[in-house]
Chains A and B, each alone.
Chain A
Amino acid sequence: MRSQYDVIIIGAGVVGCMVARWLSRYTLRILLVEKTSDVCTGATAANSALVHAGYHAVPGTLKAEMNIKANPMWDRLSEDLQFGFVRSGAYIVAVGEDERPSLDMFLDRAQKNGTPAQIISGREMHKREPCITPEVTSALFVPAGGICDPWGATIAAAENAVMNGVELRLDTEFQEFLWSDEEVKHIVGIKTNRGRFHSRWVINAAGLFADEVMHKAGVRPEFTITPRRGEYFVLDRSRIQVQNVLFPVPTPISKGILVTPTLHGNTLIGPNAENVEDKIDVDVTPEGMDEIWDGGKKLVPSLDRRDIIAVFAGLRPAGNAPCQNPDVHYNHDFIIEIPEHVKGFVNLGGMDSPALTAAPAIAEKVVELLREAGEALAPKADWDSIRPARPVFRNLSHGEQAALVAEDPRYGRVICRCEYVTEGEIVAEIHAPIPATTYDALKRRTWLGTGRCLGAFDMPRVINILARELGKDPLEITKKGDGSELLFRRTKEVP
């Protein structure tokens, strides 16, 4: 383990992992640090899983620029990194006559931002989505919208980075910057709970905590992140109703409560938008659950509460950075910069929506900034852009399943009864380039425990597999890192 790097990235969410993957193509020694026990556990862990076309973003902002630039990158990205992505298109649905005029504003934004969009009639919307409310009056169709697996995308990017030489240190929390002795305001590394690491560059990709990190660098003291909580429902796959990404007409602070299919075939409803104090407050609340249910019902009246199989909440790292363009009055823009007065620091902040969509463009922008700052960025001869996907049993045809099981019988043993996740897949993830060592890490990678029984069937079996493969006692196995042990002790011995 070395302690001298060229670049240290703080935070392994989608932005940090994409930046790591983009930088991994150059001959740089890179360290990615993450304070939790896995990648993509913060804002990336819980969101709407959408690749936005770019009609929501205010024209002229960095958010609009990055969104529009990143959207077309997702086809290639998902091919190279082999994660789930479907360019499904998306709709904003006007319900009742009152909402109809607001679609014109979004058509105008789409045109200004440069993404194709088209207004369709309520009748046409109903034809394309039979379960839409009969009160639909018209809709804006945006073909460039898509749905993705944000966990899959982030893990694949991180894995590809690691395959190409990036070092990932989990459970490693940034505490302070290390400063040069010779020169004022020159960052030369970081101090963490796991020791000091030196580098020529430190990149702030701390998501919800980006404000605290940049303040420690002495940058933008006025910038704050207000965590904005969004709650979601997931509905049973076997009763799928919705086939399209359906947005309501947005509210002033959020895109509104949408109803969308997920890549795994479930229906997702949410999010609401509530500012909270605490950056780890992912509580679901009775009021929030009522709000998102009512929001979902507005678009799809036939939703049935009995089909709810999961409830969760995520936090958006909403910042207060003004748009750099003086003609645009917008105070929640991205920050992507090398601050003039601090050397060795790349600052990213305000990464709420559309940051998931924008992440590959943000990564590319970081590369440009480093090049402009004089980094040579010599490409590696052996850089491999491909992250090979591992088999997903449930996505295979019966014939392919039979062949896979014949090759490795562990793929024949189904561990998660609702999502048909096999022992073979679990073992593969435990021994992947970024090993899954907790229950939740396996869940994010394989989708086990996300179905109707929420893990009641698979949990004892998964604990046993984790213990066996990691050489640990089942009592040591955690849900999501230290302090979240699933079991307490053995039962009494039989005398």
Chain B
Amino acid sequence: MAKPLKSHYDVVVIGAGPGGLAAAISAKKTGADDVLMIDRDPELGGILLQCIHNGFGVETFKEDLPGPSYAQRFINEAQSVGIEYLLDAMVLDVTPGRKIYVSGARGGFRELQARAIVIAMGCRERTRAQIRIPGPRPAGVYTAGLAQRWVNVEGYMPGERFVILGSGDIGMIMARRLTFEGAKVERVLEVMPYLTGLSRNYVQCLMDFDIPLQLRHTVKRIIGNDRVEAVEAVQVDERWQSVPGTEEIIPCDTLLLSVGLIPENELSQKAGVVLDPVTNGPFVDDGFATNIPGVFAAGNVVHVYDLVDWVTQAGLTAGRRAAMFAKGSCNKKAVMVPTAAGRNVRYVVPHKLDPETLTQDAITLQMRVTQPMEEAVQVRITDGDTLIAKKRERYARPGEMVSLTLRGQEYDAVRNAKKLVVSVAPV
């Protein structure tokens, strides 16, 4: 800490991962006098610090960077523009009046007042309980992200012989990483009939290392009382029921779970932020404002992104709007147009948008599809009947986000629309 902590800030950003870093930098550059970032880890960068694989920054920097290098660029910028930060500190409470209670070993217990808050706590991994795997509770059942921290940050191997449940990105990346470390990854099991992570990770992390992926398979039960000794895998049918006769005992000492991410919004709820039950993140407008005035949301806390570059983009927008709010220069009279998920779309973010934004800026709508479509598709925005914008994609898969950008030329159509329905359908 360069400067002693103040009791009032224009903008406080909770979380110093990619979303928080971008929001803080953008808030400061937009004119917020003082910006404070708070993170529970002792260093800036968030989960990027344990993501030592490459694949970061292809959109933002046109470079293929490892996670810590991507983070470092923003950390350098944050420091150069004079952002303050409080590390190794946990926010305990946020009030609708934007009071923040934070506790840390070095900073002690503090109460802060912010003019605007950006929540950027990221997401957490789904656990064994949420997918209800039967069997006893031995050591050796871990989420993929926990294993990633152990291997990449702490320098420990949590096992030697792995089965990975779920084809999420962290699981596939860990399959490769553990193989590099001399461990044996027996199998990746995926209950869905399709891959849930990025296709590039399937190719680079599983195929290239001859790690078998079994779709429509799950863990029927864990075996072992003290430490995992094996898992019983089984095929499932269309209704997720085990197919008798397909059971297979796979000896292993560790089961890693890569079965989805959930935006971490327990703090947001304390501040009164209302969540979308589909995304598990807040309802937001195109500036990532939540229902609580002065509380904005950035990154995976809104919905789970597939690429860090999009998290950064979202953070930049949220930070700018937070600074404008703190300085009293935002458009309070906006007439918002709601968005809606149409055919084969699970959700759309933002949930509503201000057409006036389009007079100055583009607005990118982001969505995930419900079912994979392996043929060419058209992404369409209509007002219910009339087409407003469209885009062609080679395919659409639930593991990969789809986006469509609205620009100034769509201003009139958007302003006159009652709602914006987004659909993804075969061409």
Using a CB–CB cutoff of 8 Å, the interface residues on chain A facing chain B are 234, 238, 280-286, 289, 306, 308-312, 398, 401-402, 405-406, 409-410, 412-414, 417-418, 420, 422-423, 452-454, 456-457, 459-460, 464, 474-475, 478-492
Q: Do A308 and B132 touch across chains, with their CB atoms under 8 A apart?
A: yes
Looking at the assembled complex, report how far the CB atom of A472 sits from the nearest CB atom of chain B, in whole angstroms. 14
A484 with B134: in contact, given A453-B125, A490-B155 (CB under 8 Å)?
Answer: no
* Chain B contact residues, CB within 8 Å of chain A: 40, 88, 90, 92-93, 101, 103-109, 111, 124-125, 127-130, 132, 134-140, 142-143, 145-146, 149-151, 153-160, 181-182, 221, 225-227, 253, 266, 269
Residues of B within 8 A of A409 (CB): 105-106, 108
Cα distance A286–B218 when bound, in Å?
Answer: 13
Q: Which of B40, B108, B156, B221 contacts A490 (CB 8 A)?
A: B156
Is A283 a contact of B146 with CB atoms below 8 Å? no
A45 shortest CB reach to chain B, Å: 11
B134 touches A284 (CB 8 A): yes
Please tell me if the beta carbons of A282 and B137 are within 8 angstroms of each other in the complex: yes
Q: A282-B137, A423-B105 are in contact. Are A486 and B158 (CB under 8 A)?
A: yes
Beyond A285-B134, A398-B93, whether A489 also contacts B103 by CB under 8 A is no
In the docked arrangement, what's the CA distance between A234 and B181, Å?
37
CA distance A457 to B145 in the complex (A): 9
Q: Per a CB cutoff under 8 Å, which of B130, B136, B139, B145 touches A308?
A: B130
* B129 x A308 contact (CB < 8 A): yes
| Closest A residue, CB atoms, query B177 | A491
Q: List 18 A-B pairs, Cβ < 8 Å.
A: A280-B225, A286-B134, A289-B134, A311-B128, A312-B137, A398-B92, A398-B111, A401-B92, A414-B90, A456-B146, A460-B146, A478-B139, A480-B226, A481-B226, A484-B226, A486-B139, A487-B158, A490-B155
Q: Which residues of A contact B155 (CB under 8 A)?
A: 490-491
Residue of B nearest to A454 (CB): B127
Q: Which residues of B contact A289 (CB under 8 A)?
A: 132, 134
B146→A459 contact, CB < 8 A:
yes
Q: A401-B103, A412-B103, A413-B88 are in contact. Are A479 and B156 (CB under 8 A)?
A: no
The answer to whether B124 touches A453, judged by C-beta atoms less than 8 angstroms apart, is yes
What's the least CB distance linking A476 to chain B, in Å?
A: 12
How far does the alpha carbon of A410 sit from the alpha carbon of B109 in the complex, in Å? 11
Output the nearest chain A residue to B181 by Cβ-Cβ distance: A491
20 further contact pairs, Cβ within 8 A, besides A282-B137, A453-B125, A456-B124: A238-B266, A285-B134, A308-B130, A308-B132, A311-B129, A398-B92, A398-B101, A401-B92, A401-B109, A405-B108, A406-B109, A409-B108, A454-B127, A456-B145, A474-B156, A480-B226, A483-B227, A484-B227, A487-B158, A488-B159
* Chain A residue nearest to B149 in the complex (CB): A460
Q: In the complex, what residue of chain B is closest to A287 when comparing beta carbons?
A: B134
Measured CB to CB, the closest approach of chain A to B265, in angstroms, equals 9
Which A residues touch B227, using CB under 8 A? 483-485
Please pick, from A406, A464, A483, the residue contacting B226 in the complex, using a CB distance under 8 A.
A483
Query: Which residue, A238, A456, A489, has most C-beta atoms of chain B within 10 A?
Result: A456
Within 8 Å CB of A401, what residues of B? 92, 103, 109
User: What is the chain B residue whose CB lies nearest that of A493?
Assistant: B155
With a cutoff of 8 Å between Cβ atoms, the chain B residues found around residue A456 in the complex are: 124-125, 127, 142-143, 145-146
The answer for the CA separation of A284 and B225 in the assembled complex, in Å, is 12
Q: Contacts A453-B125, A456-B143: A489 and B109 contacting too (C-beta < 8 A)?
A: no
How many angstroms between the C-alpha atoms of A284 and B88 in the bound complex? 37
For the complex formed, measure the closest distance between the CB of A487 and the CB atoms of chain B, giving whole angstroms.
Answer: 5
Q: Which residues of B contact A280 (CB under 8 A)?
A: 225
Closest 4 interchain pairs by CB? A413-B105, A414-B90, A483-B226, A479-B139
The CA of A280 and the CA of B127, in the complex, are separated in Å by 24
Contact between B103 and A475, CB atoms less than 8 A apart: no
Q: How far is the CA of A478 from the CA of B139 in the complex (A)?
A: 8
Residue of B nearest to A307 (CB): B130
